[in-house]
Structure 1
Amino acid sequence: MLTIRQMIIFAAVVRHGSFRACAEQAGLTQVVVSAHIRELENRLGVSLFERRPGHAAALTTKGQHAFERISAILADLNDLQRELTGEQTRRTLNLTTYGFIMLKLQDRIDAFEDARPQIELHIRLDPPDNRTLAMQVHRGEVDLACFYTMDQDEVPGSVHVGHEQLAIYVGPDHPLANAKDVTGAELGRHPAIMLRHENPQRRLTDLALDRISAVPGKIILETDALALMLNNVRRNRAWICLFQDSVDDMIPGLVRVDLATPLPPVEIRLLSRPSARHDPNLIALRDSFCG
């Protein structure tokens, strides 16, 4: 028989990375943990793990699918428990988003916290790539995710809440500062400063530049340190691709390059836990982003 206990232990093995670590954390023997996993596999009719002696527990393809579905089921059960015990119980909602989105929506978040003092918001900035973030939401690890994308269909189930415009900036004495109708090819002939490849926002700028056929011929610096970027741009050493609102509102002294083809807008989209429809607090938080 499929049991909640089996599902909890399975999810714990995945999160802890091994049967042994799960057993230690749960206060069980490794034999008991293995028995629960075997029973779950027998019930589902599939192997959930690739068993290789001396290696960490690795999910099979079907095991990964089962983990995502079972995590969502466990999150639903936790929601049900909160429903039955009453919504006034103090609890935490986990929100993941980007710093620039927070700047735009801070007033809405403040209003939510004022209206619902029993809810503590735990906010994580600079999320992983959108695919990983979506899995975290569906597993119940994140209650609400607000993220950037260049493709409205990238994350199924997400909703549009706004957009940001990217633009190219240079220093006041840069050769492109006074140029008109700059093409992607012309832009590519000048040095650029880019975010590090590990930064999820780098993918956005790469996609946007590709849309206007702008391939930097030389990247003189790859960094996430904004002050270092701006210092080099102000010295006319390179151009940089940034969100237009953030520069125009907060960073004086840069010149926006007049492009022949504007960079495409970046969508801001919102994804909430599948069980959000049963949670009035999460619904209120989601609505505050969409309002």
Structure 2
Amino acid sequence: MQSPSLRQLDIFAQMVAAGSVARCADMLGVTADDIARDIGSLEMRLGYRLFEDMSGTVRLTPAGRKTAQAMTLLSQDAPEDWDETAAPDAMPAQAVPLSAAPARQTIMLAAPAPIFGHFQDALSAFEAANEDIAITLDLQVQSVADAADALRAGRADIAYFYALEEPAGFASRYGWSEPLSLYVGDAHPLAQADSVSRDDLATTPMLALERHNPMRHIVEDALARGRVQLGPPVLESDDMFAVMTALRAGKGIFAAFGALARDLGRMDGIGRLRLDAQLPAIEVRQALGPRAAETPAVEALAEFLFL
């Protein structure tokens, strides 16, 4: 999984191993507030909660357990007082079932982590109704190139990916669209404007994810297609709390879509710009492996996720 920062992923792993915010903070030599900040930032990026409660002995949510399994971040050195219902056993990479029940057939699903958050309930329902099937996750796929590689190499039976249109030469189907929006803090000069033009945007500094983050490239491609050019970045960070702080201080514009955009839209002191032209939406598309037609369960899950 590449979208969150490595530091956030490491802290998530340390939290699972430590079992509490205080113990994790002591292990890493930082404050409990620092731990809570990084976990909160990671949850914003993923679009779902990882822990039920950050006080006392922490418990993973069902989505948190599945995410930890899929990222293979769990350690064999979990503390003795760690709740077994909160921390799953460590499992090998590329083969981590979402349920502990024995399975006669495994379906490999590749998708960006925020998309997994979109249909995690559907996956659980499918497994509950099909006890002979286990679903494993690969959360590293982002683009059509990622999806094509995963399906061709047999690392996935079903792949979801982001695109701006139907890719040429690669069979996929449209799932849904996630609007791209631009966000500023209430202190920004454009915050109260009734209409913001491309000329206004070109002279306004931007806040961006780090350059290695694939989500940044997806956003930049969408902006380019919409003929929108923002000013130079004044902040490049995967730390969403740093981005939110800069937004509220009026330092620039941040482009987002999906779960991250929904979360930003609910934040006090942050609002969506009212543009004079609509930005291109980000498509979420589904593709199946070359042998899907030979596997009824794969086609059944692919259809079920569209219900």
- TM-score normalised to structure 2 length: 0.61
Is residue 136 from structure 1 mapped to residue 154 from structure 2 by the alignment? no
Shift of 1:166: 0.7
**Cα–Cα, structure 1 residues 207 and 134, in superposed 2: closer, same or farther, change >3 Å?**
same
Alignment deviations for residues 14-68 of structure 1 (CA, whole Å, 9 cap, x no partner): xxxxxxxxxxxxxxxxxxxxxxxxxxxxxxxxxxxxxxxxxxxxxxxxxxxxxxx
Alignment deviations for residues 110-142 of structure 1 (CA, whole Å, 9 cap, x no partner): 211211222222212232542132022022121
Residue 108 of structure 2 is aligned with which of 94, 114, 117? 94
Other-structure match for 1:262: 278
Residue 283 of structure 1 is aligned with which of 295, 299, 305? 299
- Structure 2 distance, partners of 1:154, 1:266, is 17
- Structure 2 distance, partners of 1:99, 1:212, is 26
- Structure 1 distance, partners of 2:149, 2:267, is 39
Alignment deviations for residues 185-207 of structure 1 (CA, whole Å, 9 cap, x no partner): 21121111112232222222112
Q: What amino acid maps onto 1:280 in structure 2?
A: P
Shift of 1:237: 1.3
Aligned residues: 204
**Cα–Cα, structure 1 residues 244 and 278, in superposed 2: closer, same or farther, change >3 Å?**
closer
Unaligned runs of 5+ in 1: 1-87
Alignment deviations for residues 133-184 of structure 1 (CA, whole Å, 9 cap, x no partner): 2022022121111111012124611111111001000111211111122112
Is residue 252 from structure 1 mapped to residue 267 from structure 2 by the alignment? yes
Other-structure match for 1:41: none
Larger radius of gyration: 1
Other-structure match for 1:126: 140
Runs of 4 or more, structure 1, over 3 Å off, are 244-251
**Matching of residues 29-178 of structure 1 within 5 Å:** 90-127=104-141, 129-154=143-168, 156-178=170-192
Shift of 1:107: 2.0
Residue 197 of structure 2 is aligned with which of 176, 183, 194? 183
**Cα–Cα, structure 1 residues 256 and 178, in superposed 2: closer, same or farther, change >3 Å?**
same
More helix by share: 1
- Structure 2 distance, partners of 1:141, 1:244, is 25
- Structure 2 distance, partners of 1:227, 1:144, is 33
Give the superposed CA RMSD. 2.0
Q: What amino acid maps onto 1:252 in structure 2?
A: M
- TM-score normalised to structure 1 length: 0.65
Give the 3-state SS of the residue equivalent to 2:291 in structure 1. helix
- Structure 2 distance, partners of 1:198, 1:111, is 35
Shift of 1:89: 5.4
**Cα–Cα, structure 1 residues 89 and 242, in superposed 2: closer, same or farther, change >3 Å?**
closer
